[in-house]
């Protein structure tokens, strides 16, 4: 375990934050970030830290203050905004109480903040308050948990760390644990840290560096102990030990191909039924991991045991649930057998989960696993958003590593189910997940062909704003990257993904959808949109131009839909196809035969698809748009091509075209890509039981009224 403290780093932190927050807080933030920088110490909002200082009130009173990390904040990026300042003298008095419920505790914490806008302080705030030291650091270090999560964890920790630490059995985090830790320290004032079995490590000191150094030293001692014990032990079973694998450990097929094949099946089976006919399922987004080490462990004899054992520390439960689902020897060569296998494993999982969560309202219980281990294909983690799925996957990967290490020195052991259930469903913990719930399209995957163009990118942006995971499918990597970046800048990381896809090429479309399925698990909304235009009167039409337009606009729509539909059908979750057709379908104009014919064909394909797919609960609708010119940020490639000639056909200058199109509609509306995006969201949210219909987004053009 590397000690990351440097004089220059500390100095820089003091010059960065010192002037506004003071040196004590600056160094607090510095070592908090050092802890956060090591994923072997804390992961995603895990762990917490504090410093005791004073503040001066508006009445010039100097008040003793505890600055503690806000609940759910990441140590790695902790800034002054992530620290909550509380009335320390008052908090200390709470120690005299015999009991304090979670609700009371949160109320006492929130009503004794010095900044009304501060985040809710960590669940472990009182632990920090009751210890006398200026700095307190708490982590859930992998190496420590390797030792604590054992049948004789107490003895192992004592062997590894000697008398430098006190050891506490598992106690529910919150008021109870805070009192126990303070009592333990009072009884052992010589220790530099306290080990919480099945939970983590607390160290302390009068300055930031001492507390941090002690933390790293103790974790390092755990690592050394583990290495020595594992090397000397008779059953050294580490990740990567091929000897233990059944079937000689032979991997016959590419894990990526297997993942693409199985992901839509998994996604369909784990979707949570809602009982609402219009929105029958809560869907999840996938994060798939298949590093070689991981594949080997999942394939090994320990993989199944690991899936069936509990989490490393209770803080992980809200992301991973207590157990992973393991599907033994998947029938990769027979899809229907594979589906039956997964269905049966899932049914058992749900049954066990209901038995575990006996005291919970079963109607509201989502009993689907968050983590699935599939020998051959890897680790499949699920969440309501991509961000949540990534957090789950990071934790799951560490969990597998620690369990594998723990098994090398003694059987890995976790807390009893009753303790796990208590933490998983604790309102204080569940509240941490709230920020992941937003938007009418949450959990839905929207794929837009031509997603990097003027209309496509606006549709992608609007869908991402509504909570969808948006896939920008297009040709031209740079443009795709730009659009994905701009969506993630405004909607947050993990809201968009780019895929190279030439919709006129079968192989490219197939590969593109495979990439999509591995990235997020499946597809819910298809928006065929990639198109080109060409201006020529029929008498002058070149066959090659006509073919090119038909190839992209008609064959492209067909191929894009075909590949997407195949995935939707395997998911069995229904879905939506929203075809970007054109005002031209009902109201054609001269010199635009190739474009109008191709769009009319795409529109007609949509009607046929509506008939064919209704039984699969896939709705197909069309949007007839008129003249979207793009904006200052994104010009329309289509209008750049046809603008000059369309202007000529109408005896106008090119610059006058947008105004011409605005004036020719009843509402005098300028049509934007965002308007098309809003129409996609309307259909994709199943707001009305509609399929096979056409929605004009054209400001009202009489000759193009649907009929
Ligand atoms: Zn903790």
Cα–Cα separations (whole angstroms), residue 707 to 392, 608, 691, 696, 704 = 50, 17, 15, 11, 8
What's the 200 CA to ligand 1 centre distance in angstroms? 6
According to the CATH classification, is domain 255-430 in 2.30.230?
A: no
Go through 442-461 and write b for each residue having 16 or more CB atoms within 10 A of its CB, e for each that does not.
bbbbbbbbbbbbbbbbbbbb
pLDDT-derived band at 626 (thresholds 50, 70, 90) equals confident
**Distance of CA 496 from the midpoint of ligand 1 (Å):** 32
Least confident of 8-22, 163-177, 232-246: 232-246
Largest CA distance in the chain: 98
Size of the chain in residues? 707
**Ligand 1 mean position, distance from CA 79 (Å):** 20
User: Which residue bears the tokens 């309102």?
Assistant: 427
Over residues 24-43, the pLDDT tens digits come to 999 999 999 999 999 999 88
* Residue 531 three-state SS: coil
pLDDT tens readout for residues 178-207: 999 999 999 999 999 999 999 999 999 999
For the stretch 401-441, pLDDT in tens is 889 888 889 889 998 888 888 888 888 778 777 766 578 99
Q: How far is the CA of 168 from the centre of ligand 1 (A)?
A: 13
Quote the ligand 1 centre to 432 CA distance (angstroms).
Answer: 14
Q: What is the rounded average pLDDT of the residues 525-545?
A: 93
378-383/285-289 β-pairing: antiparallel
In the reported structure, the alpha carbon of residue 424 is separated from the centroid of ligand 1 by a whole-number distance in angstroms of 14
Q: pTM of the predicted model, to two decimals? A: 0.90
Lowest-confidence region among 618-622, 659-663, 684-688: 659-663
First to last CA, the chain: 71
Long-range contacts, 427-433 (Cβ 8 Å, 24+): 427/102, 427/103, 428/71, 428/102, 428/106, 428/123, 428/174, 429/123, 429/315, 429/317, 429/318, 430/318, 431/71, 431/120, 432/45, 432/71, 432/72, 432/318, 433/318, 433/388
- pLDDT at 635 (0 to 100): 67
Q: How far is the CA of 654 from the centre of ligand 1 (A)?
A: 64
pLDDT at residue number 385: 93
Tokens of 70: 């806000």
Q: Which of 349, 342, 347 is nearest to 324 (CA)?
A: 349
Question: Measured in angstroms, how far is the CA atom of residue 290 from the centroid of ligand 1?
Answer: 29
% of the chain exceeding 70 in pLDDT: 95
User: What separation in Å is there between the alpha carbon of 394 and the centre of ligand 1?
Assistant: 17
pLDDT tens digits, residue range 93-144? 999 999 999 999 999 999 999 999 999 999 999 999 999 999 999 999 999 9
**Pick from 445, 463, 465, 444: nearest CA to 455:** 463
Neighbours of 351 (CB within 10 A): 11
3-state class of 664 per DSSP? coil
Strands 281-282 and 272-273 come out as antiparallel
Distance in Å, CA 539 to ligand 1 centroid: 77
d(CA 144, CA 620): 54
How many whole angstroms separate alpha carbon 504 and alpha carbon 658? 30
Q: What is the pLDDT of residues 40-88, one digit of tens each?
A: 998 888 899 999 999 999 999 999 999 999 988 999 999 999 999 999 9
Q: Which residue has the higher pLDDT, 631 or 618?
A: 618
Q: Do 28 and 135 contact (CB within 8 A), yes or no? A: yes
127 exposed, middle or buried (CB, 10 Å; 0-12, 13-18, 19+)? buried
| pLDDT at residue 627, rounded to an integer | 78
Please tell me the distance from the alpha carbon of residue 596 to that of residue 574, in angstroms, as a whole number: 30
DSSP 8-state class, residue 118: S
User: What residue segments make up the domains of the chain, in order of their start?
Assistant: 7-231, 255-430, 445-697
Which pLDDT tens digit goes with each residue over 326-365? 999 999 999 999 999 999 999 999 999 988 887 766 667 7
Q: What is the mean pLDDT of residues 373-380?
A: 95
d(CA 119, CA 510): 46
Q: What is the pLDDT of residue 638?
A: 66
**Ligand 1 centre and the CA of 140: distance in Å?**
6
**CA of residue 154 to ligand 1 center, whole Å:** 18
How far is it, in rounded angstroms, from Cα 556 to Cα 598? Answer: 10
Q: Tell me, which fold does domain 445-697 have in CATH?
A: Rossmann fold (3.40.50)
C-alpha angle 678/455/584, rounded to 5°? 90
What is the pLDDT at residue 234? 44
CATH of domain 7-231: 3.40.225.10
- CA dist 262 and 500 (Å) reads 22
CATH topology match: 7-231 vs 445-697 = no
CA of 74 to the centre of ligand 1 (A): 13
How confident is residue 243, by pLDDT bands cut at 50, 70 and 90? very low
- 93 or 244, which is more confident? 93
CA 314 / ligand 1 centre spacing (Å): 8
Average pLDDT over residues 523-535: 93
- Find the mean pLDDT for residues 278-307: 90
177-183 long-range contacts (CB < 8 A, ≥24 apart) are 177/124, 177/127, 178/95, 178/124, 178/125, 178/126, 178/127, 178/129, 178/130, 179/95, 179/126, 179/130, 181/127, 181/130, 181/131, 182/95, 182/127, 182/130, 182/131
For residue 456, the surrounding DSSP H or E stretch is: helix 454-465
pLDDT for residue 208 is more than 70: yes
Determine the pLDDT at residue 250.
54
Coil, strand or helix: which one is 621?
A: strand
Structure tokens at 109: 């914490």
Q: Which of 287, 390, 371, 256 is nearest to 321 (CA)?
A: 371
């Amino acid at each position: 375990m590397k000690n990351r403290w440097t004089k220059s780093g500390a100095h820089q932190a003091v010059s960065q934050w010192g002037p506004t927050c003071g040196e004590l807080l600056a160094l607090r933030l510095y070592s908090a970030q050092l802890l956060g920088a090591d994923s072997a110490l804390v992961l995603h909002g895990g762990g917490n830290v504090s410093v005791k200082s004073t503040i001066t009130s508006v009445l010039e009173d100097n008040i003793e203050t505890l600055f503690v990390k806000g609940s759910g904040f990441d140590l790695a990026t902790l800034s002054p905004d992530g620290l909550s300042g509380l009335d320390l003298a008052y908090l200390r008095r709470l120690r005299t109480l015999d009991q304090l419920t979670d609700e009371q505790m949160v109320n006492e914490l929130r009503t004794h903040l010095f900044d009304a806008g501060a985040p809710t302080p960590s669940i472990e705030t009182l632990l920090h308050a009751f210890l006398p030291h200026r700095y307190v650091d708490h982590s859930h270090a992998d190496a420590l948990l390797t030792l604590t999560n054992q049948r004789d964890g107490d003895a192992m920790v004592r062997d590894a760390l000697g008398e430098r630490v006190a050891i506490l059995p598992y106690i529910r985090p919150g008021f109870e644990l805070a009192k126990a830790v303070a009592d333990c320290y009072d009884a052992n004032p010589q220790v530099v840290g306290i080990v919480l079995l099945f939970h983590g490590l607390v160290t302390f000191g009068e300055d930031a560096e001492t507390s941090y150094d002690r933390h790293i030293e103790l974790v390092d001692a755990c690592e050394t102990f583990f290495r020595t014990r594992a090397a000397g032990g008779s059953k050294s079973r580490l990740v990567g030990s091929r000897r233990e694998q059944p079937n000689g450990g032979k991997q016959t097929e590419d894990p990526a191909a297997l993942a693409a094949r199985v992901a839509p099946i998994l996604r369909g089976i784990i979707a949570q039924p809602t009982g609402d006919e219009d929105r029958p399922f809560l869907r999840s987004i996938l994060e798939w991991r298949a590093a070689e080490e991981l594949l080997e462990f999942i394939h090994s004899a320990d993989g199944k045991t690991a899936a069936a054992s509990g989490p490393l520390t209770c803080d992980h439960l809200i992301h991973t649930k207590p157990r992973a689902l393991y599907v033994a020897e998947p029938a990769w060569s027979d899809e229907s057998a594979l589906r039956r296998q997964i269905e049966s494993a899932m049914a058992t999982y749900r049954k066990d989960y209901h038995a575990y969560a006996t005291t919970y309202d079963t109607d509201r219980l989502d009993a689907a696993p968050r983590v699935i281990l599939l020998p051959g294909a890897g680790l499949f983690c699920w969440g309501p958003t991509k961000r949540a799925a990534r957090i789950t996957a990071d934790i799951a990967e560490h969990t597998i590593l620690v369990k594998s290490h723990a098994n090398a020195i003694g059987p890995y052991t976790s807390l009893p189910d009753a303790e796990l259930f208590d933490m998983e469903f604790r309102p204080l913990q569940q509240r941490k997940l709230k920020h992941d719930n937003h938007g009418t399209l949450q959990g839905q995957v929207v794929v837009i062909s031509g997603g990097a163009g003027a209309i496509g990118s606006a549709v992608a942006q609007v869908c991402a704003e509504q909570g969808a995971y948006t896939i920008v499918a297009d040709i031209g990597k740079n443009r795709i990257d730009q659009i994905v970046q701009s969506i993630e800048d405004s909607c947050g990381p993990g809201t968009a993904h780019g895929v190279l896809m030439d919709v006129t090429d079968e192989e490219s479309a197939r590969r593109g959808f495979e990439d999509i399925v591995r990235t997020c698990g499946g597809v819910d909304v298809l928006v065929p949109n990639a198109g080109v235009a060409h201006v020529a009167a029929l008498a002058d039409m070149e066959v090659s131009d006509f073919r090119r337009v038909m190839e992209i606009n008609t064959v492209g729509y067909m191929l894009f839909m075909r590949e997407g539909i195949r995935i939707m059908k395997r998911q069995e979750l229904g879905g939506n196809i929203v075809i970007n057709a054109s005002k031209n379908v009902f109201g054609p104009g001269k010199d635009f035969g190739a474009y109008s014919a191709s769009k009319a064909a795409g529109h007609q394909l949509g009607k046929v698809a509506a008939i064919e797919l209704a039984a699969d609960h896939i709705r197909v609708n069309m949007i007839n748009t008129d003249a979207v010119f793009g904006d200052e940020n994104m010009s329309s490639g289509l209008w750049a091509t046809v603008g000059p000639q369309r202007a000529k056909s109408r005896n106008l200058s090119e610059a006058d075209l947008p105004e011409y199109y605005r004036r020719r509609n009843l509402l005098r509306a300028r049509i934007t890509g965002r308007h098309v995006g809003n129409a996609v969201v309307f259909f994709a949210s199943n707001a009305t039981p509609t399929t096979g219909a056409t929605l004009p987004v054209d400001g009202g053009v009489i000759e193009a009224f649907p009929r």
